[in-house]
Structure 1
Amino acid sequence: MEIAGETIPPGKRRRLEIPVTHLPTQTPISLPVIVVNGKKAGPRLWLSAAIHGDEINGVEIIRQVLEKIKPKKLCGTLVAVPIVNVFGFLEQSRYLPDRRDLNRSFPGSPNGSLAARLAHLFMTEIVKRCTHGIDLHTAAIPRINLPQIRTNLEDEQTYHFAKAFGAPLLIHATTRDGSLRHAAKQQGIPILLYEAGEALRFDEQAIQIGTNGILRVMDYLGMYPLPFPATEVTSVEVSQTKWVRASRSGILHLAVKLGEQVEKKQSLGIITDAFGETNTKVRAPKKGMVIGHTQNPLVNQGDGIVHLALI
């Protein structure tokens, strides 16, 4: 396995620092990559986290996976990039210094903006050298997400890849231009996007499901034997989701939790003012499951407050 001019022999683990750019202080910034190359040939799986620098659950998931993998038992190659957006990670920010969203900048360009250059580097040195990928995310501030896989469930290979992960929820989702998932799809590479928890917070359940999911996938691909007893996981599969939005501004008192199933017209909470003069009920427009919601009780008219998977 060769990445950025470095050759990793079979049965070895290496940490690489791929140069990205320099800060205005001339301090070098690099892309940290851990490559575990197995003793035998097999699939090449990349794991990426913190494309949005404040989404840190994935960083811990990758750390826990790497702790469990022994190169001599591995078939194929594991390429782990726990912090893709180093700039945002240091600043505890979703964005790059120029306020661009890295996950809207793929496949990038060697001569474009900082976001475009970093995206191009990641595509060239990581994605194009792999056969499969898993990209780890959380909800954006101030929201929280139920652990879920988003991918193209209509593609048979990707569908079985997603089923092997064993997340509570599988969502069929089309790709968005500029995203890593869209760029990988254009290269014919099956990729899963794992969403769980919230930004700048560790969520132990989300981390556990994510870690076990990656290990299940590696077992499914024939890369690494499952280090815990195999159990069947039933995932809810959905093809449509819908945000319930605030009909007025005020203070939200949420009455539902992540994973809860709700009926059409069921109360999801109320929006009040600060003076006890008005109450407005928030109702579910259709039957569904709560897969995300805002964490901030202060809402403006039109804000997304509850995300439903339509069942």
Structure 2
Amino acid sequence: MFFLGESILPGESKTIEVEIAKMHTMSKLKIPVIIERSKINGPTVLFCAGLHGDEINGTEIVRQLIRGKINKPKKGTVICIPIINVFGFVNQTREFPDKRDLNRMFPGNKSGSLASRFAHFLVTEIIPKIDYAVDFHAGGASRFNAAQIRIVPDVVDLKNLAQVFNAPFTLYAKNIQGSFRNACTKSGVKILLFEGGKSLDLNESITREGVEGAKRILNHLEMLNPKKEVSKGSENAVFIKKSIWVRANYSGLFHGSITIGSFVKRGDILAMISDPFGKIEHKLKAPNDGYVINVNDASIVYQGDAVYHISIQLENE
């Protein structure tokens, strides 16, 4: 196997530090790419996180895969990239230094902006080498995502993989133009996008869902070390065909009253929005029956802010 300019022999472990750019201080900025290759041929799986630099829970999931030696496959090759957007990770921000969202820059351009150039690198050097990928993300802007997998609709192989991962929720969602997921799909890579938790936050429950789901994927591909235990995952996993964002109807202090993952009925009170002076309280009600897969954790909201993500149609309904 020839990868990133280096030969990876059967049974070999190697960490390749990819220099993506230099800081304005002339310090080199490198991304460690951890490769574990079995002596037995098989698929190549990528576990990656940190496309958005402030979504650190995904980084923790991939770190635990490495720390627990889950990434050492019985057959095939496992590639782990715990932090893709090192710039954002260092600065605790979503974007690249050029203020661009890396996950909207694919397939990129080798002569374009800094983010575009790095997207081009991923498309030309990483994606062609992999067969499967799990890309770990978290909610942004103080919004906490329930552990969920996102896949494009009407693709049987992806649905089967999502069932194997077995997160509490799977959401059918079209690929976003310019995203890493879209670039992988166009290249024939079977990719699951994991969402869980919120930015700049570590959550043990979300981390556990991500790690266990990754183990189930490797086990399904007959790549998991037989010494590693595999849990069954969610007993009542929910597949969501359509969903809606509920937005704040007023600006003010936000008093949420719904637990993530809850099923609500139309008219249930989701939150109260109040002024800071004790005069006004506004009720925010559920517009329909559904599961709450994203909850706002902000203390202050503005009118129009997305505060809840609720299912409106489940599979087989």
Distance change in 2, residues 1:176/1:296 (3 Å): same
Amino acid at match of 2:177: D
Runs of 4 or more above 6 Å deviation: none
Does the Cα contact within 8 Å between 1:57 and 1:202 map onto a contact in 2? Answer: yes
Separation (CA, whole Å) in 2 of partners of 1:143 and 1:284 = 17
Separation (CA, whole Å) in 2 of partners of 1:212 and 1:65 = 9
Tell me the equivalent position of 1:165: 165
Tell me the equivalent position of 2:239: 237
Cα drift, residue 297 of structure 1: 2.0
Cα drift, residue 230 of structure 1: 4.4
Does the Cα contact within 8 Å between 1:13 and 1:71 map onto a contact in 2? Answer: no
Separation (CA, whole Å) in 2 of partners of 1:32 and 1:232 = 30
Q: CA RMSD in A?
A: 1.5
Separation (CA, whole Å) in 2 of partners of 1:214 and 1:297 = 33
Q: Secondary structure at the match of 2:30?
A: strand
Cα drift, residue 55 of structure 1: 0.6
Separation (CA, whole Å) in 2 of partners of 1:183 and 1:71 = 24
Does the Cα contact within 8 Å between 1:39 and 1:73 map onto a contact in 2? Answer: no
Matched, 1:148 2:143: no
Tell me the equivalent position of 1:105: 105
Amino acid at match of 1:51: L
Amino acid at match of 2:21: T
Separation (CA, whole Å) in 1 of partners of 2:270 and 2:70 = 47
Tell me the equivalent position of 1:290: 292
Separation (CA, whole Å) in 2 of partners of 1:193 and 1:83 = 15
Does the Cα contact within 8 Å between 2:263 and 2:292 map onto a contact in 1? Answer: yes
Task: Select which of 300, 307, 310 maps to 2:302.
Answer: 300
Q: Secondary structure at the match of 2:134?
A: strand
Q: Secondary structure at the match of 1:51?
A: coil
Cα drift, residue 69 of structure 1: 3.1
The aligned runs of 1:184-263 (5 Å cut-off) are 184-225=184-225, 227-231=228-232, 233-234=234-235, 235-263=237-265
Tell me the equivalent position of 1:125: 125
Amino acid at match of 1:143: R
Amino acid at match of 2:285: R
Q: Secondary structure at the match of 1:258?
A: coil
Number of aligned positions between the proteins: 311
Separation (CA, whole Å) in 2 of partners of 1:53 and 1:172 = 25
Separation (CA, whole Å) in 2 of partners of 1:127 and 1:66 = 20
Amino acid at match of 2:193: L
Cα drift, residue 32 of structure 1: 1.4
Please give the TM-score of this superposition, normalised by the length of structure 2. Answer: 0.95
Please give the TM-score of this superposition, normalised by the length of structure 1. Answer: 0.96
Separation (CA, whole Å) in 2 of partners of 1:21 and 1:77 = 27
Does the Cα contact within 8 Å between 1:11 and 1:72 map onto a contact in 2? Answer: no
Tell me the equivalent position of 1:45: 45
Q: Secondary structure at the match of 1:40?
A: coil
Separation (CA, whole Å) in 1 of partners of 2:256 and 2:114 = 40
Distance change in 2, residues 1:73/1:19 (3 Å): closer
Cα drift, residue 72 of structure 1: 7.1
Separation (CA, whole Å) in 2 of partners of 1:13 and 1:262 = 48
Distance change in 2, residues 1:29/1:147 (3 Å): same
List alignment gaps of at least 5 residues for structure 2: none
Q: CA offsets per residue over residues 139-191 of structure 1, 9 Å max, x none? A: 01211110000112420111111111110001111001010011111111110
Separation (CA, whole Å) in 1 of partners of 2:208 and 2:132 = 21
Q: Secondary structure at the match of 2:52?
A: coil
Q: CA offsets per residue over residues 108-152 of structure 1, 9 Å max, x none? A: 111110001111111222111000111000001211110000112
Tell me the equivalent position of 2:266: 264
